[in-house]
Amino acid sequence: MRNDLRELRLAAGLSQRELGQVLNVSRQTVNSIETGRYDPSLPLAIAIARHFQRTVEEIFHVD
């Protein structure tokens, strides 16, 4: 699944570590989601969407 997390994070001026702290996950988890190696759980995807004031569908794209 593709996603726009990296672009959104950079536009917000956040490091992976900072975003991880906001979401209560590790920097490695943020990196894995950004690179497509890990698909977030539904609660985490919703938390990401809420943080960036977007819908889950606007951030995560099913290939």
Q: Over 90: is that where the pLDDT of 48 sits?
A: yes
Which comes out higher in pLDDT, residue 55 or 62? 55
Which range marks the domain in which residue 9 is found?
A: 2-61
Predicted local confidence at residue 43, as pLDDT: 98
Q: What angle do CA 17, 46, 1 make, to 5 degrees?
A: 80
Domain count, the chain: 1
Nearest 10 degrees: CA dihedral of 52, 56, 59, 61?
Answer: 180
Q: Read off the pLDDT band of 54 (50, 70, 90).
A: very high
Identify the CATH number of the domain in which residue 16 sits: 1.10.260.40
Q: Read off the pLDDT band of 63 (50, 70, 90).
A: confident
16-32 confidence digits (pLDDT tens): 999 999 999 999 999 99
